[in-house]
């Protein structure tokens, strides 16, 4: 009995030993299989993961594409940017090191605070930029004092530089650091020193100028410290962009406008090339690239002459008498008055109980259309506008490019305003009055235009009625076929060509009548309002139209006692001076629009500027590609 129990117990122990052994064998087999799977089957995968921990791929910002004018003159380039950086773990006492550095180079307190703030956010071995755009003299001083500046070193990068500074600032715009709202998920935008276009051409063509990032493969340790660079692949530089501007003509236009708050546009009347687009005062785009100080920013935004506003495309002004060609052409097309029909001007016109005055107090007498444009008679155009009505004036204005944006390839273009009955009812909830039509007939009241629109209006009047559109982007051979480089509406029409632009469908005879009157404005000594500003060089003569836009209301009491002269008024209350012109008068090729804010009379102020600009344009003849010799400016 006892023997049977011992045998049973032995069998149980044996079974348990076998089960335990089997379990152990299974466990060891599973472990071996898992090791085989990880080390043999999945070897490549885990090798990649290990390399991912050891190897870091870093983006290299590409050089930004250059911007050049129509003759290849560099307008926006990349130059070496020397910057001083500090590494916290190598510096030890960072505040002391920065204090010593401040004795070697100029280091504002705000920059010190920024560096110390960045130190708390980044790892100890990550370099932090202390100051950029160091001069060679400052670099030399830092290098000489290097033993006393632990953790401080000089790095070399690329920075955007604008050789012409403020002279082309409103056209080119500027680049600056990427803001949080501009992050799109593109890792290139997250690089700390990367810059994107913020305004002007730099903004419109930012994607093409930006280029494609390169990569640097570096080996790092567990903390992320770079041990060595394993490989490098350079990115593709941004595309070179050529624009229609003639920089020497642009420079001349800015200098001719001087210190005035003013704008000037010079344009090819046939293909829409904008040769100069000047707005004064300007600003230094290089300051935006390096970073404006609070004082610099306050000075810009508090300047009453608006240096940050591109007045050529965003300044909106009453066109004054430069609008009278629109009314004249509309009247001829509608048949409400013939060119020979005369209107008597006694110096004013009565409508109900309101008197509308002519600029010439004693009146012009009997005027036909030619003389009315030549003398700029207000009463004549009061009467013509009364017969026309605001609807037909607005329709012709639209055909000539007024009252809405032109689709110009710069940001910030404004559309101006050409009022209608429907517009006033919707805007003010009031009906249109006939007196407002009279005021609109001389380019006052609600009407607003930009200098660019006035240039386009002039071009369409003198080029045979072709609805030319202005553009700034110019194709180059390397950009052939890359239509995305050009803004919508841009054209590649060559000199003398109107390809791609439709006809306005206006009578050629009516256009000739208006153009002949514009020629008399500048070339007829018997009453031409701009005769003193005429071009005397044979073959370069210009036609045009003066304009003076009031910015204040003249009361009846002031008229009785004598209207105050512009020079006796505060600057803000003085009239705007305008002039639109074209040349040569017998074969129009170029047009020009000039406005001088609060400058006074158009004939005395704006017309001489336009004359000089048209002379310079014809001497250079940008359409034929014959620039004068010039030396690009250096850094000031």
Is residue 321 part of the annotated active site? The answer reads yes
Q: Tens digit of pLDDT for each residue in 324-359?
A: 999 999 999 999 999 999 999 999 999 988 999 998
The residue among 367, 345, 341 whose CA lies nearest residue 356 is 345
Question: In terms of domains, do 89 and 234 share one?
Answer: yes
Q: What is the CATH number of the domain that holds 284?
A: 3.40.710.10
Same domain, 396 and 541: yes
Establish if 38 belongs to a structural domain: no
Say if residue 239 is in the same domain as residue 253. no
Note whether residue 447 is domain-resident: yes
Range of the domain at 550: 247-295+306-623
**d(Cα 499, Cα 201) in Å, to the nearest integer?**
24
pLDDT at 451 > cutoff 90: yes
Q: Which two tokens stand for residue 202?
A: 């730099």
> Tokens for 132?
């950029």
211 and 184 share one domain: yes
The verdict on residue 277 lying in a domain is yes
User: Which residue matches tokens 């687009």?
Assistant: 277
At 474 the pLDDT is 78
pLDDT in tens, 584-622: 999 999 999 999 998 887 788 999 999 999 999 999 887
Q: What is the pTM of this model?
A: 0.82
Residue 531 burial by Cβ neighbours in a 10 Å radius (0-12, 13-18, 19+) = middle
How many residues does this entry show for the chain?
A: 636
Indicate whether 316 and 447 sit together in one domain. yes
Judgement on whether residues 331 and 234 belong to the same structural domain of the protein: no
Residue 12 lies in a domain: no
Query: Whole-angstrom Cα distance, residue 435 to residue 441?
Result: 10
CA angle 628, 632, 636 (to 5 degrees): 140
Q: What is the mean pLDDT of residues 392-400?
A: 97
Is-contact 337 391, C-beta < 8 A?
A: no
Give the DSSP H or E segment for 195: strand 195-197
How far is CA 311 from each of CA 15, 308, 326, rounded to the nearest angstrom? Answer: 100, 9, 22
Q: Give the least confident one: 91-95, 124-128, 237-241.
A: 124-128
Q: Is the pLDDT score of 223 beyond 60?
A: no
Structure-token match 């642009």, residue found: 250
Alpha-carbon torsion, ordered 211, 212, 213, 215, to 10 deg? -140
Residues 514, 441, single domain; the answer is: yes
- Are 434 and 360 in a shared domain? yes
Give the residue among 354, 453, 341, 333 at the shortest CA–CA distance from 404.
453
Give yes or no: residues 254 and 161 share one domain. Answer: no
Lowest mean pLDDT among 17-31, 279-293, 391-405, 435-449: 17-31
Is the predicted pLDDT of residue 488 greater than 50, yes or no? no
Give whole-number Cα distances, 194 to 70, 119, 188, 289, 457, in Å: 28, 20, 7, 11, 41
User: What does DSSP say about strands 67-68 and 241-243: parallel, antiparallel, or unpaired?
Assistant: parallel
The answer on pLDDT for 520 being more than 50 is yes
* CATH at residue 155: 3.90.1310.10
Q: What is the 3-state secondary structure (H, E, C) of 403-459?
A: CCCCCCCCCCCCCCECCCHHHHHHHHCCCCCHHHHHHHCCCCCCCEECHHHHHHHHH
Evaluated on CA atoms 435, 439, 442, 443, the torsion sign reads: negative
Beta strands in 61-120 (DSSP E): 67-68, 74-86
How much of the chain is helix, strand and coil, in % rounded to 5?
45, 20, 40
What pLDDT was estimated at residue 496?
Answer: 40
State in Å, rounded, how far the first CA of the chain is from the last one: 117
Does the pLDDT value for residue 153 go beyond 50?
Answer: yes
Q: Tell me if 161 is assigned to some domain.
A: yes
Q: Are residues 75 and 186 in the same domain?
A: yes
Tokens of 541: 């003569």
Distance CA(351)–CA(559), nearest Å, equals: 18
**Phi and psi dihedrals of 347, rounded to 5?**
110, -5
Q: What are phi and psi of 345, to 5 degrees?
A: -115, 105
Sole residue written with tokens 């990427």: 178
Rounded to whole angstroms, what are the CA distances from 272 to 241, 467, 549, 589?
Answer: 18, 10, 27, 11
Cα Rg for the chain, rounded, in angstroms? Answer: 36
Q: Could you say which of 321, 385, 397, 603 is catalytic?
A: 321
Place of tokens 């014959």: 626
Q: Which of 536, 531, 541 is nearest to 590 (CA)?
A: 541
Q: Are residues 226 and 318 in the same domain?
A: no
Any domain includes 415? yes
Place of tokens 């903004």: 203
- Residue 267's SS3 state is strand
Residues 462 and 591 in one domain: yes
Give the total number of structural domains in the chain: 2
Q: Name the residue with tokens 């005879």.
A: 509
**Closest Cα partner for 338 from 561, 521, 507?**
507
In a domain, 322, yes or no: yes
Beta partners for residue 4, in sequence order: none
DSSP letter string, 307-352 = TTS-HHHH--B--GGGGHHHHHHHHHHHTSS-TT--EEESSEEEET
Q: Where are the beta strands (DSSP E) in 224-292?
A: 226-233, 241-243, 262-268, 274-280
Residue 45 in any domain: the answer is: no
Structure confidence at residue 466 as a pLDDT band (50, 70, 90): very high
Residue 320: closest CA among 15, 4, 602: 602
548 DSSP β-pair partners: 577
List strand residue ranges (DSSP E) for 238-273, in order: 241-243, 262-268
Say if CB 133 and CB 195 are below 8 A apart: no
State the pLDDT confidence band at 300, using cuts at 50, 70 and 90.
confident
């Amino acid at each position: 009995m006892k023997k049977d129990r011992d045998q049973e117990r032995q069998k149980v122990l044996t079974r348990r030993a076998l089960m335990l052994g089997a379990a152990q064998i299974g466990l060891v087999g599973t472990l071996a299989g898992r090791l085989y799977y990880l080390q043999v089957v999945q070897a490549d995968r885990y090798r990649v993961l290990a390399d991912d921990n050891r190897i870091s791929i870093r983006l290299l910002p590409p050089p930004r594409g250059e911007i050049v004018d129509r003759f290849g003159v560099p307008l926006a380039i990349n130059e070496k940017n020397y910057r001083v950086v500090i590494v916290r773990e190598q510096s030890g006492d960072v505040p002391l090191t920065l204090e010593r550095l401040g004795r070697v180079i100029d280091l504002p307190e705000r920059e010190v605070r920024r560096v110390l703030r960045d130190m708390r956010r980044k790892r100890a071995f990550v370099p932090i930029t202390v100051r950029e755009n160091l001069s060679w003299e400052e670099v030399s001083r830092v290098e000489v004092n290097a033993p006393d500046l632990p953790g401080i070193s000089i790095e070399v990068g690329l920075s955007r530089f604008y050789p012409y500074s403020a002279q082309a600032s409103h056209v080119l715009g500027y680049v600056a650091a990427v803001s949080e709202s501009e992050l799109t998920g593109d890792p290139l935008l997250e690089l700390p020193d990367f810059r994107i276009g913020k305004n002007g051409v730099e903004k419109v063509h930012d994607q093409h100028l930006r280029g494609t990032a390169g990569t640097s493969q570096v080996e790092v340790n567990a903390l992320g410290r770079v041990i060595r660079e394993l490989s490098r692949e350079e990115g593709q530089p941004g595309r070179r962009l050529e624009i229609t501007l003639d920089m020497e003509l642009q420079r001349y236009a800015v200098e001719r406008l001087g210190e005035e708050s003013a704008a000037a546009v010079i344009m090819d009347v046939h293909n829409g090339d904008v040769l100069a687009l000047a707005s004064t005062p300007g600003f230094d785009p290089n300051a935006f690239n390096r970073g404006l100080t609070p004082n610099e920013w306050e000075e810009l935004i508090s300047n009453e002459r608006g240096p940050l506003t591109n007045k050529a495309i965003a300044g909106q002004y009453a066109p004054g008498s430069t609008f009278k060609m629109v009314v004249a052409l509309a009247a001829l097309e509608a048949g409400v008055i013939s060119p020979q029909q005369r209107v008597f001007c006694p110096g004013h016109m009565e409508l109900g109980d309101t008197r509308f005055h002519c600029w010439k107090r004693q009146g012009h007498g009997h005027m036909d259309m030619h003389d009315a444009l030549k003398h700029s008679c207000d009463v004549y155009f009061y009467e013509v506008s009364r017969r026309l009505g605001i609807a037909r004036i607005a329709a012709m204005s639209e055909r000539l490019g007024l009252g809405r944006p032109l689709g110009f390839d710069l940001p910030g273009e404004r559309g101006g305003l050409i009022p209608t009955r429907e517009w006033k009812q919707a805007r003010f909830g009031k009906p249109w009055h006939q007196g407002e039509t009279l005021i609109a007939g001389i380019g006052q009241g609600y009407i607003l235009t930009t200098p660019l629109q006035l240039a386009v209006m002039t071009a369409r009047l003198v080029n045979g009625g072709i609805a030319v559109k202005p553009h700034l982007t110019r194709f180059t051979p390397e950009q052939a076929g890359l239509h995305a480089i050009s803004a919508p509406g841009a054209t590649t029409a060559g000199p003398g060509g109107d390809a791609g632009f439709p006809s306005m469908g206006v009578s050629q005879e009516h256009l000739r009548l208006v153009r002949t009157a514009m020629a008399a404005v500048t070339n007829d000594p018997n009453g031409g309002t701009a005769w003193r500003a005429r071009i005397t060089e044979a073959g370069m003569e210009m036609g045009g139209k003066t304009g003076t836009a009031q910015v204040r209301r003249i009361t009846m009491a002031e008229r009785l006692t004598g209207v105050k002269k512009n020079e006796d008024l505060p600057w803000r209350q003085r009239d705007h001076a305008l002039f639109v012109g074209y040349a040569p008068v017998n074969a129009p090729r170029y047009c020009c629009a000039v406005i001088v804010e609060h400058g006074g009379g158009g004939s005395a102020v704006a017309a001489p500027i336009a004359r000089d600009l048209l002379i310079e344009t014809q001497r250079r003849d940008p359409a034929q590609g014959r620039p004068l010799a010039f030396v690009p400016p250096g850094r000031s």
